[in-house]
Amino acid sequence: MRMIIAAALVLGAVQVQSAAAAGETVTCTPVSEEQVAKLFDRWNGSLATLSPDEVAKNYSEDSVLLATLSNKPRLTQEERIDYFKHFLANEPKGHIDSRDIKTGCNWAVDTGTYTFAMKDGSKVPARYTYTYEFKDGNWLITSHHSSMMPEKAAAH
């Protein structure tokens, strides 16, 4: 997990350095941990619409979705919409259990654990990483990895 965060941190730094090396001016959009937490709330709220298109609006066009209930990486908006058609049939409601947020120049990483309550009463505990980038005046998900917990909660 630390390697993923470190890679995201390095990637953010490389993007800024690349822009500076190209002679571009980079304007950093400030973002607080509270604002990043609200990005999850925005995403979670879009689940409640039960519209795959609304959920997909949270993702950048080149985003990678490694979804909780699918083995297939979703690399296009069409693939993400297809995943959410099936996922939303369960009427999921996400709840953050724990999180760690890191921010930088036009990027943020939100990593932690969450639980989805499904309409049938089942619960799906999972771990997640969302990376965000400020693009065209909006914070968008650039990668989203979610996987079910490998151990039962009582297995410690």
Answer yes or no: are the C-beta atoms of 96 and 112 closer than 8 Å: yes
Which of 77, 85, 63 lies closest to 135 in space, CA to CA?
63
Q: pLDDT tens digits, residue range 9-59?
A: 444 444 444 455 566 788 999 999 999 999 999 999 999 999 999 999 999
Is-above-0.75 flag for pTM?
yes
Q: pLDDT tens digits, residue range 104-151?
A: 999 999 999 999 999 999 999 999 999 999 998 999 999 999 999 988
Beta strands in 15-83 (DSSP E): 59-66
Which domains are assigned to the chain?
Answer: 2-149 (3.10.450.50)
Sequence-separated (6 or more) residues with CB below 8 Å from residue 25? 19
Q: How many CB atoms lie within 10 A of CB 101?
A: 20
Concatenating the DSSP letter of every residue in 142-153 gives: EEEEEEE-SS-G
Q: What are phi and psi of 76, to 5 degrees?
A: -125, 165
Answer yes or no: are the C-beta atoms of 112 and 98 closer than 8 Å: yes
